[in-house]
Amino acid sequence: MSTMTQTSGAGTYLDAFSELEQRGSKQPEWLRSLRQEAFASFCDTGFPTIKDEAWRFTSVAPISQTAFSLPEAGPSGVTRAEVEPFRIDGTACSLVFINGRFAPELSDQPKLAAGVHAGSLGQALAGDNGALELQLGLKLALQNDAFSSLNTAFIEDGAYVRIARGTVLEAPIHLLFLSTGAEEPLMFHTGMRSLFPTVREAVATLIDPAKLRWVGFSHFEADECGSLNEWQTVAPDATAVCSMVGKLVSVDDFAPKNPAKGMTDGETFETGGHRFKFVHTPHVPHCWEAGMLFDETTGTLFCTDLFHQGGDVEPKTTSDVVGRARETFVEYQAGPFANYFPYTANTDKEIKRLAALKPKVLATMHGSVFEGNGEQALFDFADMLGDVLGRDAKAIAAE
């Protein structure tokens, strides 16, 4: 099966189907007809809803409302070491599929007993095995529903196991299907331009830096997006995700290679494995264009300068971070970094809007990432800001 990307309607299945039609030039004519018939059947029936008896208790809306795209062709980059934990002992053979595609380099295929075949469906289809025509077509006729239609319409590869009548298998055949997750990696905040080599090296421990697709950031400052141009040089598709204000006022002028995705408050987008909501928070932490991304999939709020903690702290914590942030804000008030956040009539309101997301993880930019009750931590942070900055703001105004 292919994987999902961004929110859209069934139209994206049409786009993916057209792409597959162009790719499938080596496949037999009967398969092309079968696919077209199956896709037409899907277009007729559409996805089931809870009004259909068989699906009364199961909504498929999360599937039908998510756009579909074909997996990328070419090597998956998965290594044998990564597959090893999923293998089981004592099998006759182990066939591995990555994002629905047979991966011979990751599979163990010793010679099987006479009358037993286990291999790639894609290879069998390319060989135009007459038996397959009967089997695949029969399946579709028997199960005329959206999912079997879609599976048939998008057949490219899979497992093909054939066992001659009367043959007894001494050991099981292991079919291992793995997905590589998000296909459009997103990084939130680039770090300063001078830090680019270090950040790139760190990113390379997770993904191929050239595959970075999205660069999210809260506001237009050097530590948030200073190396955006450098990223667009090493990762040709890297595109900024920021507020519409940020895009129009600064970002498209600063990094014109790939125009930014300008987001409005509450807008969502998907990257394959994650669904993000953009929250526009003008002047929180600071700057007109400020906003934050909330990863709805994991409950992570990329909360930028909120919860700023000084010193060399641990990467993650479940302990209080508001007390540490208070120390930083109090210290800053006494020096050149005073009034780090503008304390306005909207400050408390904006932070409480973030609390309403009930984040489980607060991914701060400066300090330990907090795991726990994010809603309460944001309430406490709002109180702390009012206490430190609100009081100072009133005192300054009274002078």
Q: Three-state SS across 304-342?
A: ECCCCCCCCCCCEECCCCHHHHHHHHHHHHCCCCCCCCC
Q: Where are the alpha helices (H) located in the chain, listed in sequence order?
A: 11-23, 29-45, 61-64, 80-83, 121-126, 130-142, 146-153, 196-204, 222-225, 228-234, 244-246, 252-254, 322-333, 347-355, 374-385, 391-398
Nearer to Fe ion, 174 or 219 (CB): 219
* Given 305, 307, 341, 354, the residue binding Fe ion (CB under 5 A): 305
Q: Taking a C-beta distance cutoff of 8 angstroms, is the pair 276, 190 a contact?
A: no
Nearer to Fe ion, 174 or 280 (CB): 280
Instruction: Decide if residue 221 touches Fe ion (CB under 5 A).
Output: yes
Nearer to Fe ion, 351 or 365 (CB): 365
Retrieve residue 234's tokens: 């090493």
In the chain, the amino acid numbered 369 is V
Span of 69-77, 178-186, 198-206, 299-307 interacting with Fe ion by CB under 5 A: 299-307
Site for Fe ion in 363-382 (CB under 5 A): 365
Residues in the interface with Fe ion (CB under 5 A) total 4
Instruction: Decide if residue 295 touches Fe ion (CB under 5 A).
Output: no
Instruction: Decide if residue 195 touches Fe ion (CB under 5 A).
Output: no
For 227, half-sphere exposure in the C-beta direction (CA atoms, 13 angstrom radius) is 20
| CA pair distance 270, 267, nearest whole angstrom | 11
Span of 81-89, 214-222, 294-302, 355-363 interacting with Fe ion by CB under 5 A: 214-222
Nearer to Fe ion, 15 or 221 (CB): 221
Span of 4-12, 157-165, 213-221, 227-235 interacting with Fe ion by CB under 5 A: 213-221
Q: In the complex, what is the shortest distance from the CB of residue 365 to Fe ion, in angstroms, rounded to a whole number?
A: 5
Span of 86-94, 338-346, 358-366, 386-394 interacting with Fe ion by CB under 5 A: 358-366
Q: Taking a C-beta distance cutoff of 8 angstroms, is the pair 304, 290 a contact?
A: yes
Instruction: Decide if residue 223 touches Fe ion (CB under 5 A).
Output: yes
Nearer to Fe ion, 156 or 223 (CB): 223
Nearer to Fe ion, 277 or 286 (CB): 286
- Residues in CB range of 222: below 8 A, 6 or more apart: 192, 193
Residues of the shown chain interacting with Fe ion in the complex, contacts defined by CB under 5 A = 221, 223, 305, 365
